[in-house]
Structure 1
């Protein structure tokens, strides 16, 4: 079935009424014309268009012409429409983001916890080696343009992301605290076009090794956002959640 052709044929008001009538069973052309209040030649033309679109069939039985819905074709159309109604993971993330934007205030404090099946050394490198960090430090549908981080207090931290349409977003800050192999705390605040932070973001990552895995706790604290920055503030939770998922996939 040509889905677009079928939808166009169905969308015309008179043809829509005809389909609604035929949904309850076959009708003669004369019965259809009387029900929709149209002349028989006009009704015949509408039926021909619906038949050409594959939605109905018109059969001659004796001296009568009977129109009926092609149920198999409609089921095919219904399957196509059902595909539009099926949500994807991205739909759910976007809905969560929209809900967060509506509820956003001026600050957030988010705690993430992950169990990573990797050595403590591998997890620590993923956080403190720029080449490793660049492989996971971006939500889905973003690419890392530039990444800078080091396990040294006072070291500059920078992250530049590029969206699919070419728009770039820069975040930056400095390392505040380091406990080698165990904990790193740094600023990573989104910057405007002049290089000033929209609001302050502090990332606090702690590693707790066990025999075969590492328990990772990441706290994201942000404050100082205004109403215009609410979408960015609301994006921290889904963005970092996706990034940490990518980290887990990378380490595995």
Structure 2
């Protein structure tokens, strides 16, 4: 951020004065701060989760979700693959790789969308735009940490960590439902992020609210629409 808006203050301002943060991004976007917090926070969260969870219960639960694993040999093979260390490694890798990769892909989209909307900014600026515009997802980290800290049992399912998901709030699809993953990935911070990105787009481009909202919503809508089509087509 510029000298008038320290990076630490930007973490608050993105929720209270988002236009001020978007104004500062072209000079010094400090994308490393929200990205670093997202990566490190998720790594710490999953390390904690796999240390506290009743792993035998979790492993059995994961195996039970796969109807193909009916004989003893296949179940034993699954148990060797679904070890605590392998699941933790996958979760940590997801935080280290998937978070930055997703932001990078979204920045590429907004680089193209910006050109269409007459805003020829650099990829670096759009990466900062996305990193700060999706800052509401950082709020999931303390929320999920509270779920672990306040859990009455160590038999806590991964999806139960996020009480803000569409599934936990409204639908309550079971883990055997093919829609379970999609519904658990949609949450209130997704909507909040779309709103912030729309505010930023309107501020940077001067376009109308409908145009800004549509451009901000498109990558999310396209992703979930493709996911829904896949589920409808193959049932998984």
> Which structure's relative contact order is higher, taking Cα pairs within 8 Å and 6+ residues apart?
2
TM-score, normalization by structure 2: 0.25
TM-score, normalization by structure 1: 0.24
The structure with the greater share of residues assigned to helix is: 2
The structure with the greater share of residues assigned to strand is: 1
Larger Rg over CA atoms:
1
